[in-house]
Structure 1
Amino acid sequence: MTLVLLIIAAILVISGIVSLVRGQLLMGIALIVIGLLVGPGGVSIFT
């Protein structure tokens, strides 16, 4: 389960960075924050 959360968090953060580069500031910040919340190192919303 931890590995799945880590992969999901990494995908969210990477897509957030890509959104920031494309100029979608709000969507990029939202994806990064959600990725950090889901990740096992952060405050996981699944536990």
Structure 2
Amino acid sequence: MCVVLDAAPGEQTVIGNFQQQNTHVVYDLENDLLSFAPARCDRLAASL
């Protein structure tokens, strides 16, 4: 996986929806870490 992050105008920005599909994205602001893990979103939706 290749990720490019760049400054954006304003206070918030969004990493592309397509790249986030079926992926857990963890923003650890306290330790300045960004983590990714595979997710089974189809299973989550079925349990709601």
TM-score by length of 2: 0.24
More strand by share: 2
TM-score by length of 1: 0.25
Q: Which structure exhibits the higher relative contact order, with contacts defined as CA atoms closer than 8 Å and separated by 6 or more residues?
A: 1
More helix by share: 1
Bigger Rg, structure 1 or 2: 2
